[in-house]
Structure 1
Amino acid sequence: MSLKLKSGFTFDYDNLYGEGKVTEADLKSYEEDLKKAHEAMKVMRETGFIRAHLSKDGEPEKVLFSQLPYVEEGHLNSPNSLKHLQELTDHVKDNVDVVVSMGIGGSYLGDKVLFDVQCGAYWNELPKEERNGFPKVYFSGNNIDPRSTGDLIHHLENESKILQYHEKRNLKVLLLVISKSGGTLDTMSNFMVVYDALQKFPGIDVEVVAVTDPNMENQTLLKKLAIEKGWPQYAVPDGVGGRFSIFCEVGLSLAACIGFDIKSFLDGAKDMDKACQNDDIWQNPAMLNAALKFAASEKHGRDIEVMMPYGDYLKSVSEWYIQLLAESLGKQFNKEGKEVCYGRTPLVAVGTTDMHSQTQQHQEGKLNKVVQFVKIENWANDLEIPNVFPEAKKLADISGVTMSEALEVARQSNADALASNKRYNACFSLPELNAYHLGELLYMLAMSVAYEGELADVDAFNQPGVESYKRIMGPKLQALKAAKAAK
């Protein structure tokens, strides 16, 4: 059983729904709740209103992520904002040598997805001509790690020396700093360390682009710095939580630096949003996905979701999804203030890699998991396994097929084995790994958690648990600083 869109995007739920799995009766029991959830999505699209949603300051706040696929005047993504992004593309292409993307949470995870899909692991090793004039890209600000930050600084210093030797010019480095407030400890500590260090190297020219809160009336710390220093600015808009921000300038600013097809990405998200406006659950990918996963958790105890894409460069998609699911649905209280401690636990896996590490647990461990596969149907550059050693029968037996065919046989075998032992699993299929289909997949997952939030009666758009440690961490840092000053 599967749901297939005109684009070719497919949700195969045969191993998740039916006898011995999530049943028709299970979904029937949620019929009224699903109608209410679907109506809530309509209201969200039209007004930005989500019942009981408040900002971290306790104020009413719109939810605007469903607006992002639509490039229109007055929207967060508008013709002018895309033109502004094109200006960044025009600036970095053939002019900037290195971009360091500095962010954490959605400001890192979303950007890493776009980089992996567009560029792959060896982008920085390619000659500039093969990168079509686009810069090398490094990531920082996603941990407060002195070794990795120091290694990055040392590497860029060496890059500058090599460039001076061969081309007799300075290395041009752009720091893309992403923080709504400008007070994010992880990101801003890395930024200050790297910015200060690079300024001291005579062979490096440093520039900064700030991605921050655009509000001019109550300017954030990073906003004030950007104005004072004359740094170009892009927006971390109100109404878009970090885990949804890949579809706005938070993600699209990095996309602009690597030649990623922003229009196709947003078109894929837009077409998925239109599919998700269908009130028939069997034709609405996000509502169906949410309902099946919710029922699997609440009625069958399958409250762990293993996101297992098949392909190395899709691992970051799994990591992005982990934040989306964890922050959106892991809530202590429901919308009425009742303690419910709801949430499904997400886990990262990659096929075939984790078939040799995690699958033993998936196959024979506790009956508490749904394994969600992602597969690519047509790979851009497929390779046939050659019969290099015909005298070795075991090796000869695996030759004559392409790597993608072998990859899919492995995935199907995993799915069949799991299903044969009452292990729930499902598969999202993308016709190709490109910007359009990536937009479809990520948007469907984002809309799914919005639906599930309504089914579970929790606010899928706040993150009070994250604020808890921040309130403790601030005073601890001040006390540490005071103790050091007293010595």
Structure 2
Amino acid sequence: MNKTLVLASGFTFDYENLLGDGKVTTGDVAALAGRIAAAHRAVEHMRATGEVRGHLSKDGEPEKVLFSQLPYIEEGHLNSPVSIRKLQEFGQSLRNRVDAVVSFGIGGSFLGNKVLFDVHSGDFWNYKSREARDGYPKLFFSGQNIDARRTTELIDLLIKEAGVKARHEQGKPYRVTLIVISKSGSTLDTMSTFMVAYDKLKKQPGLEVEVVAVTDPATGEKATLLKKLATEQGWPTFRVPDGVGGRFSIFSEVGLVTAACIGMDIEAFLAGARAMDEVCRTGDIWQNPAMLNAVLKYVAAETYGRDIEVFMPYGDYLKSVAEWYVQLLAESLGKRTDREENVVFYGRTPIVAVGTTDMHAQTQQHQDGKKDKVVQFVKVQDWENDPVIPNVFPSAAKLAEISSLHLSQALDAAREANAEALIHDGRFNATFVLPSVTAYHLGELLYMLALSVAYEGELANVDAFDQPGVEAYKRILGPKLKARKK
């Protein structure tokens, strides 16, 4: 049996080290045939209607689940031709006019946006000249933690850059756009850091501040605190849509606003997600990568005790994908009760790792620790830039041995060695292969993972779209904040 699923785009799910003798078996999968078919019907029903059995909002009201609509740019959809054009026009309005953007958000409003920034822009975007950035502004993140030192240092940096521009460009103002992302407008982490930055920067001579709010679009009596502020202050707004949890919001205006700020191809990103969604409409598990991934990981956890998933991309700029996946898996599937209110304490624990970095840190635990893990690798097939290792020191035999290899060849050899060592000791692993690091293939990967948790929620009979455990600490936090003001 061929244990690789290759899509027309070249995206590949290699599950050789996850299915077979001593691993999840075809018999295990066959035994779940009825539940797998039911899960597929439930996901198809979600796609068609937005309805998920038993799903309620945090307020206890029926709530549709609409993330599967997002890849389709159509009139009446959350992403429409008008909304995409508005995003693109916003991005163009920043070019050669705004010096820096600061994005304030937490949870999916940070993690998804950071993925898009890292994959498109990389670590050194803010060090590049405006010309090298094609006129797009520098971009910084804040609000993902209530950190006094980092918040202060970011403000100081922007003020310093404003001073440098004033000296070198005949007093021209330094323009900063603050993008504040909060559905309610009362998110502590986001709003506290935003208000500190807004206040300090507004008072700084030679520095002009613009604000864009990404929030619930409701108006009138239903308007959120942030929506009311935006209306009062005249700030432009984008939407945090109903029916899309934060961990899925990367495909909505919440994430796409960052893509617009850096000139990322929004339509290609959504096209990749759309292509993956279309492939996953089949009920044939062996041809549906999201369903296959969900089933194999579910069986590995429930039958073989592999309830930790180490998500390990081989590439620095894909680390944030693993960090985004931590939220996706943890919030979607970490549930105390099933749909019938039986206590089940379900969930697989996600861990971030990066190859080859964590081969020198975590792999000792993966290889010799408890057999409670599935290691999920991500491989890039073709790199845009791929230097050859030169034979700089021919007298050093060990170094000469690796000369003439491309860096990607050395990277992939390390991944293969890791995978083989693990499976030789009965340690489950699998590999997603991206043909290249593009907006399209990123859309494929992220959407497949999002759809996978929908399937696994059905298999486990838990609501993959609520997060009651998060609300527990929030109920405690409010009184604690009030007590500190006394």
* Category of TM-score, reference length = shorter chain: over 0.9
Rounded to whole Å, the distance in 2 between the matches of 1:451 and 1:131 is 40
- Among candidates 374, 377, 388, match of residue 378 of structure 2: 374
Rounded to whole Å, the distance in 2 between the matches of 1:480 and 1:89 is 41
Rounded to whole Å, the distance in 1 between the matches of 2:316 and 2:26 is 36
Counterpart secondary structure, 2:13:
strand
Counterpart secondary structure, 1:131:
coil
1:306-345 matches, within 5 Å, as 306-345=310-349
Amino acid in the other structure paired with 1:132:
D
Rounded to whole Å, the distance in 2 between the matches of 1:198 and 1:160 is 10
- Among candidates 248, 254, 270, match of residue 258 of structure 2: 254
Partner of 2:21: 19
Q: Does 1:211 align with 2:175?
A: no
Q: Does 1:421 align with 2:397?
A: no
Residue 94 (structure 1) shift? 1.1
User: Hey, which bits of structure 1, 4+ residues long, moved more than 3 A?
Assistant: none
Amino acid in the other structure paired with 1:259:
G
Residue 87 (structure 1) shift? 1.8
Measured against aligned partners, the alpha-carbon deviations of 1:390-417 in whole angstroms (never above 9, x if no partner) come to 0000000011010001000000000000
Partner of 2:12: 10
Partner of 1:105: 107
Partner of 1:388: 392
Rounded to whole Å, the distance in 2 between the matches of 1:12 and 1:167 is 54
Partner of 2:241: 237
Rounded to whole Å, the distance in 1 between the matches of 2:340 and 2:67 is 24
> Which ranges of structure 1 fall in alignment gaps of 5 or more residues?
483-487
Rounded to whole Å, the distance in 2 between the matches of 1:451 and 1:370 is 18
Measured against aligned partners, the alpha-carbon deviations of 1:40-98 in whole angstroms (never above 9, x if no partner) come to 01100110000000000000000000000000000000001011101211211111100
Counterpart secondary structure, 2:122:
coil
Amino acid in the other structure paired with 2:74:
E
- Among candidates 193, 196, 199, match of residue 196 of structure 2: 193
Rounded to whole Å, the distance in 2 between the matches of 1:189 and 1:26 is 50
Residue 203 (structure 1) shift? 1.8
Partner of 1:485: none
Partner of 1:273: 277
Measured against aligned partners, the alpha-carbon deviations of 1:200-254 in whole angstroms (never above 9, x if no partner) come to 1102100000000001140000000000000000000000000000000000011
1:74-93 matches, within 5 Å, as 74-93=76-95
Counterpart secondary structure, 1:268:
helix
Counterpart secondary structure, 1:211:
strand
Residue 326 (structure 1) shift? 0.2
Identity among equivalent positions (%) equals 65
Amino acid in the other structure paired with 2:79:
N
Q: Does 1:348 align with 2:344?
A: no
Rounded to whole Å, the distance in 1 between the matches of 2:169 and 2:384 is 35
Counterpart secondary structure, 2:485:
helix
Measured against aligned partners, the alpha-carbon deviations of 1:336-379 in whole angstroms (never above 9, x if no partner) come to 11110000000000000000000000001000000000010000
1:279-290 matches, within 5 Å, as 279-290=283-294
- Among candidates 172, 177, 191, match of residue 174 of structure 1: 177
Partner of 2:117: 115
Counterpart secondary structure, 1:194:
helix
Residue 441 (structure 1) shift? 0.1
Partner of 2:454: 450
Amino acid in the other structure paired with 2:133:
R
Rounded to whole Å, the distance in 1 between the matches of 2:95 and 2:283 is 44
Q: How many residues align?
A: 482
Partner of 1:56: 58
- Among candidates 382, 401, 404, match of residue 397 of structure 1: 401
Measured against aligned partners, the alpha-carbon deviations of 1:431-456 in whole angstroms (never above 9, x if no partner) come to 00000000000000000000000000
> Which ranges of structure 2 fall in alignment gaps of 5 or more residues?
none
Partner of 1:408: 412
Residue 460 (structure 1) shift? 0.3
Residue 24 (structure 1) shift? 1.1
Amino acid in the other structure paired with 1:214:
P
TM-score w.r.t. structure 1 length? 0.99
Rounded to whole Å, the distance in 1 between the matches of 2:282 and 2:474 is 40
Rounded to whole Å, the distance in 1 between the matches of 2:24 and 2:218 is 47
Counterpart secondary structure, 1:206:
strand
Rounded to whole Å, the distance in 1 between the matches of 2:88 and 2:301 is 44
Amino acid in the other structure paired with 1:69:
P
Rounded to whole Å, the distance in 2 between the matches of 1:13 and 1:67 is 28
Amino acid in the other structure paired with 1:32:
G
